[in-house]
Amino acid sequence: MHLATTTEPALWIVDRLHPFGQDVGSIVPPGFEAYARVFHPPYRVAPDGTMTPVRWRDIAAANERSLQVEMRRLEISCAPSQFSRQRERLWDQQPHCGRLPSEIADRLVTVLGRHTSTPESCWFAVWEGFGDLRVRDNPGSKFSIPGRTLILLHGHVGDLVQTLSSVDWIYLSPNLWWPEDRAWCVATEIDFTWTYVGGAPECIQQVMDDPELEAVPTNPAEGNCMEK
């Protein structure tokens, strides 16, 4: 992954995004046939330090709520309920906010890599404000979307698994990434504990059906925190 010398490949996203904070289309560009919201899991930490992801659906069920009702809590908190109705602790470490978890990044590369004709040419954009960002931009690599300024990089789709953090053991993902053929686009907003994916219906269906991911359908006109 290397710095881009021009931001022209990102202009289609700048042109399509809705105004800041309006809806899903403010985060991931409208124009795709289908969309999914992929949840970042919280984790249960064992005494030996082993971390096990916890599904949002299981958290909702432990509180006798639907996933949609659990999602409404995000207007107050970026994380799902930590305790069950019986006051059992459901997770210990909160979901990654604004950063795609490494295990989800690995899985998305596998799934999405099958749905592009240009896996060797992908674009990656990362928010300039991360304190541990190892990337140093040049004048030709920076562009703005509503409310955010990003740094553009280029590489192979598999380069997503490389951390952009200056701390090697911390995984820092791009906030936007898409292939040259624009077959799909992935967006992780810095204030959210989930990631949006837009693409063809068969691509998005595979994302939602993948047993290692937890995703629900969405669309650009939907509110960011809950279904309407």
- Say what the pLDDT of residue 55 is: 85
- Say what the pLDDT of residue 228 is: 34
The parts of the chain modelled with pLDDT lower than 70 are: 72-78, 224-228
Which helix (H) or strand (E) segment is 106 a member of? helix 102-112
**pTM for the whole thing?**
0.89
Which helix (H) or strand (E) segment is 2 a member of? strand 2-3
- Say what the pLDDT of residue 113 is: 96
Q: Using CA atoms, how far apart are residues 121 and 177, in angstroms rounded to an integer?
A: 11
Q: Where are the beta strands (DSSP E) in 120-226?
A: 122-127, 142-145, 148-155, 176-179, 184-187, 194-199, 215-218
- Say what the pLDDT of residue 80 is: 77
**What is the residue extent of each domain of the chain?**
2-40+96-218, 43-94
Write out pLDDT tens, residues 145-159.
999 999 999 999 999
